[in-house]
Structure 1
Amino acid sequence: MTAPPFPCSPVPVSPEIRLTYVLQHFWQAYEAVPPVSIGYPSHQPQIEVAEAAGPFFEQQHPYPPAPTWRQWQGRTIPFFFDSAPDNPLIEWRPNGQAIIHADIISAAFYLLSGWQEYFSEERDQHGRFPYSASVQHRYNFVTIPVVNYYFDVLKTAVEHAIGQPLRLRRWAGKATWACCITHDIDNLYSAWKAPAKAALRQGNLRHFGRQLWQHFTTHDTWDNLSQVQQMVAEYGAKSTFFFLPEYRKAANGTPNADYNIQKVWAHAATAISSAEVGLHASVGTNTQGGQLKEEGHRLQRLRNGVKADGIRFHYLSWEPRITPGLLDELLYTYDSTLGFAEHFGFRNSYCLPFHPFDFQQRNAFLFLEIPLNVMDATLHHPRYLQLAPEEIAPALTPMLQEIERFGGVCTVLWHNENFDPANTHNGPQEFHTLMQYLCSRNPAFLHGQDIVLHLEAEK
C-alpha cells in the first residue's frame, strides 16, 4: 500500500526553522536553562553546530545518507549529517565557547519531525508507515532514544558555556521519570470466540457447544474493566482507558469494537470509576475529519458534555500528511498513537513528549504527542516479535533504562483482553512483571492529561 497524495507541495525547511523546532524541545527537556546562544556558524553563536545537511531538507527524499557512529556516554550512537567524523564530537574553545562537529540539529529534526514517514510512500496493509521501512530498523536503533543523546551532547556544551550543570526536568513529586499506563478497549464480549473456533476446527462439537452456552449464560472474561482498574491501582498507578465508539467494521473489513458504546457506557463508566477516558478513534478516522469529529462528539455526549483530552487511533493508524492537522483542528490536547506496532521502542527516537512538526506551516503543532513505547500485542503476535513470556522482561529492560536515564515518559498499552488469566503469553502475569519492575524504579504514574498540564506549568 502506498501513501495518499500530499495535501500540497511542501516548501524547503530552512536551517532556522529546524533550529527553532529542535531548541523548543531541548529547552523543555531541562530545568531553568540560562540564556546561551546556540546555532549554525553564520550566526556566530556561543555554541556552534556544524551545518552539514546540505540540500537534503530542500528536497523530498525520505532517507538521508547513512549515519556515522560515535561513542557518547558509553553508547555507540548513530549521527546523521556528520560530515567530519574524524573530528572530535565537541571542540572546546575559550570563554565558554564550543563547536559541535556533527549537525545534531538537523539530525534531531529529521528524527523528531518524522520526516522519513512524511516523505516515504511505504505503507502496510493497515495504511501505516511500517517499521521495516524505517531508519530505526535499517540501522538497528529503535530501542535507543537517539534524539535524547543528541540533546545530551548539546547539554554538555551548554554546561561548558554557563559553568554549571543542567538538570533534567522532574515530574510530579519530584520523580525523575514518569509512566503512563493505558488500555485500548477494543473488545469486551469476545473471550469465547477463540476457544470456540478452535473446538470447531478440531471437530469437538461438545466443547464448541459449551463455549457457546457460556457465552450466552455467563459473564464474559473480557468484560473486566473494574478488575483492570483495580489491578493497576494496586501498584499506586492509574489507568487511561481509550474507548472505541464504532462497532461496525471498517470499509475494508477491519474490525472495530465488539460492543456498542451507547449500550455499555453506564456499566463501563461505573467500572472504571474516576480513571481518565480517551477516544480510541476507529479505522479510517486518521484521514477522515468528519468521521473523527462525529466519534469524538459521540463519546462526549455519553460523558455529559465532557470532551476527551486525549486520543489514540485504532490499529495505531496514522497518516503523517493528514492526521496531525486533524488533531489540531479538533483541539485534542494530546495523542498517544506514535509507536511502531512491530517493535517496542521509540518511533521518533525520543523518550519525552513532543509537539509534532507541521510540514505545511513550518512550525510545531499545538497538541502534545506522548509516544507509545510498548504494546502487549507487539510482544507476542504472529506478525510481530513472538517473544516467549520469559523473554519479555529482559527484552524491555534496556529500553526502560534509557527512558529513566533521560527523565522520559514510558507509555504502556495493555489491552483489557490481555488481563484474561487464560492468556499465558502476554497476559496478566507478564503485566505484573512489568509493573513490578516499574515500581521498583520509582517513577511518577501519570495520566496523559497530567503530563500535558505538568509541561504547561513548567513553561
Structure 2
Amino acid sequence: MLLVYTHKISPRLKYVFKHICARVLGVKVGFTTKIEEFIAHDSLKMSYTKQQLGNEFFIKSNDILFEQGLSDIDIHIHTWENTKCFFSIGDKCALPYDIFSASFYLLSRYEEYLPHVKDEYGRFVATESIAYKEGFLHQPVVDIWAYKFRKALQKQFPDFKFPERTYQLKPIIDVPSAYTYKLKGIMRTLGGTFKDLFKFRLKSLYTRFGVLLGFRHDPYDTFKYLINRQKTSHFKFLFFFLIGDYSTYDKGINPNKKKFVSLIKHVNDYSHVGLKISFFALEDDVLLKKEKVRMEEILNTNLKASRQSFSKLNLPETYRNLIALEIKEDYTMGYVNHIGFRAGSCTPFLFYDLDYEVQTPLKIVPYHLMDYALLKHKSLLDKKKVLNEIMHQVKQVNGEFVPVFHNYTFSDDTRWDGFKELFNLVLNSPDEV
C-alpha cells in the first residue's frame, strides 16, 4: 500500500489519488495526517503537502484539492518530455508538476462547469477545452502522468513490484434506429414515400418498397454481420438501443413492435445491451425512468449502462439523474467530431460532483473516437493512420480503448465505404500489441 501524508484529507484528494493509484496503477492507497504513522510505514510512501518533512518522496500540493466549489484558476501549460502538464511545482519535488491536481481538473470536468460556448444541441465542444487549445487532446495525459509517477516511485522504492495491467477494448455500437424502412408504421412510411417522390429520390423509393415487400435487405439491418463479428472477438460489444418515443431529435423504432423487441433480445444473447437515452429524457427524469423501466422489461434484468442521445451532457444534472435511477455506467463522455480524450484518461473513473463535493458511484467510461470523426479524413489510408495513432496512445499506457460505431456505419452507403475494414482493424488490434 502507498501511504500518503498530507496536512488535510479532503474528498477531492482521496478521489484523485484513488483513481491514479488504484485504478490506473493497481496500487492500494491510504492517507494519514500523523507524522508518526507516516514514519513507521515500511513500504511505499510519499508526502503531499506544502513543505517537505525530510528526504521522503515529496510532491508539493496545489490548493485545488483542498478547496470547495469553483474558482478562477490560472492555468499555464508546459511541455513535459513527451507530453504536457500544468500546475508547476519546481525542481525540488519528485515530479515537476502536481499531477494529482491537474488530473482532478480534467477528470472532474471542472472546465465544463465554467462559462463556455455551446453548439446548436447545447453541448460542450472540443474546441472549448483546454486539451484542444493546448494541443494535448490526442493523449490520455492522466494515464501518462500516472506512469511517470510510477517510474519515479519505482526509482525510490526499487524492491516494490507494481502490478501490470493489459490493453482492453470495448467496442460500442450505437443504434438510434435499427432499420431504415422496416417497422416504421403506416404514417411514417407514407411520409417518407411522398418525400422521396417530391425530391425525385427514385433509388430510395425503389429500396424502400423492395424492403417492405421483402425482396431487399434493410440498409440499417447490419446486426447479423455484427453478431458474427462478436462471435470471433475476445471483447464483448456494447449495443445502445434507442427505445424512446418518436420526436424531433429521435426517430427510432416503436418499442412496442414485437420484432424490434425480439431484435434487442437476440443481440443481448451475444453482446451487452444498454439504453440510449432519448434527447428529451436528458432533462426529464420522469421520461428517463419510463425508458429505463421499458428497457429492463425487454432485457428482464436491471439496466446497467446508458448513453445520452447526441452525446449531450448537462453537468452535473445528467449524471445526478442516472445516479438517482441507480444506473451504474455511462458512455457519453467524448466528442462526436473530434478524436481524443475529453477527460484526459483512457481509464474509467467515478463521477465527482463538484457542487456537493462528493465521489459518486456512477462509473464514467469515456469514449475516444466516434465514426463521424473519421469522415473528415478523405482516404481510407488516412482513416487507418488516425485510428492506429489513437489506439497506439491507449496501448502505451495499457488503457481501455472505447470506439463508437453505429449500426448504419456497416451498411452499403458509400459514405461509410471502408468502415468494415476499420472496424476489423480495431477488433484485431489487441493481437498486435
Higher mean Cα deviation, 275-284 or 418-427? 418-427
Superposition deviation, residue 102 in structure 1 = 1.9
Q: Report SS of the residue matched to 2:281.
A: coil
Identify if the C-alpha distance between structure 1 residues 440 and 156 changes in structure 2 by more than 3 Å, giving closer, same or farther. Answer: closer
Query: What secondary structure is seen at the aligned counterpart in 2 of 1:49?
Result: strand
Aligned position for 1:189: 179
1:418 correspondence with 2:432 = no
| Cα gap change, 1:160 to 1:223, in 2 (>3 Å) | same
* Structure 1 counterpart of 2:179, one-letter code: Y
- The SS at the match of 1:356 is strand
CA distance in 1, matches of 2:332, 2:66: 28
TM-superposition CA deviations, 1:289-322 (whole Å, max 9, x none): 2221111011111223x11211111111111121
Mapped to 1, the partners of 2:167 and 2:51 lie a distance apart of: 37
Pairing partner for 1:405 from 376, 382, 396? 396
Paired amino acid for 2:18 = Q
Q: Which residue, out of 37, 46, 52, partners 1:37?
A: 46
Give the structure 2 partner of residue 213 of structure 1. Answer: 209
Distance 2:408 2:264 in 1: 14
Partner of 1:294: 290
User: Could you tell me whether the CA contact under 8 Å between 1:61 and 1:119 is conserved in 2?
Assistant: no
SS in 2 for 1:285: helix
Query: Pairwise mapping of residues 28-427 of structure 1 onto structure 2 (< 5 A)?
Result: 28=22, 29-32=24-27, 34-42=43-51, 44=53, 46-52=56-62, 60=70, 64-71=74-81, 75=82, 77-82=83-88, 84=90, 87=91, 91=92, 99-164=94-159, 166-170=161-165, 176-190=166-180, 203=200, 205=202, 207-218=203-214, 219-249=217-247, 253-254=248-249, 256-263=250-257, 264-304=260-300, 306-380=301-375, 385-423=376-414, 424-425=416-417, 427=419
Shift in Å at residue 15 of structure 1?
8.3
* Letter of the 2:424 counterpart: H
Quote the offset at 1:396 in angstroms. Answer: 2.0
Q: CA deviation at 1:425?
A: 3.8
1:233 CA displacement: 2.2
Aligned mates of 2:52, 2:364 — CA distance in 1: 31
Change (3 A) 1:314 1:56: same
Contact 1:190 1:258 in 2 (8 A): no
Q: What letter matches 2:234 in structure 1?
A: G
Q: TM-score, normalised by structure 1?
A: 0.78
Structure 1 CA distance for aligned equivalents of residues 181 and 161 of structure 2: 51
Deviation at residue 257 of structure 1 after TM alignment: 4.0
Q: Is the 8 A contact 2:48 2:61 kept in 1?
A: no
Q: Is the contact between residue 64 and residue 80 of structure 1 (CA under 8 Å) also seen in structure 2? A: no
Deviations 1:397-454 (A, max 9, x none): 222112112121111211111111334446323212332334433xxxxxxxxxxxxx
Q: Match of 1:447?
A: none
Q: Structure 2-normalised TM-score?
A: 0.82
CA distance in 1, matches of 2:394, 2:223: 28
- Do the aligned partners of residues 169 and 197 (structure 1) sit closer, same or farther apart at CA in structure 2, a change above 3 Å counting? farther
Say if 1:62 and 1:116, in contact at 8 Å, map to a contact too. Answer: no
1:190-243 deviation line (CA, Å, top 9, x unaligned): 1799x98997687464x3542332242134121232321112322333221111
Give the RMSD, CA atoms, in angstroms. Answer: 2.9
Cross-structure match for 2:40 = none
Q: 1:322 to 1:49 in 2, by over 3 A?
A: same
Deviation at 1:323, TM superposition (A): 1.4
CA distance in 2, matches of 1:159, 1:246: 51
Alignment identity in percent?
Answer: 20
SS in 1 for 2:307: strand
Distance 2:201 2:12 in 1: 63
Q: Report if aligned partners of 1:143, 1:399 keep a CA contact under 8 Å in 2.
A: yes
Q: Which residue of 2 aligns with 1:5?
A: none
Does the CA-based 8 Å contact 2:111-2:129 persist in structure 1?
yes
Q: Which runs of 5+ in 1 are unaligned?
A: 1-13, 92-97, 171-175, 442-459
Find the residue that maps to 2:75 and give its secondary structure. coil
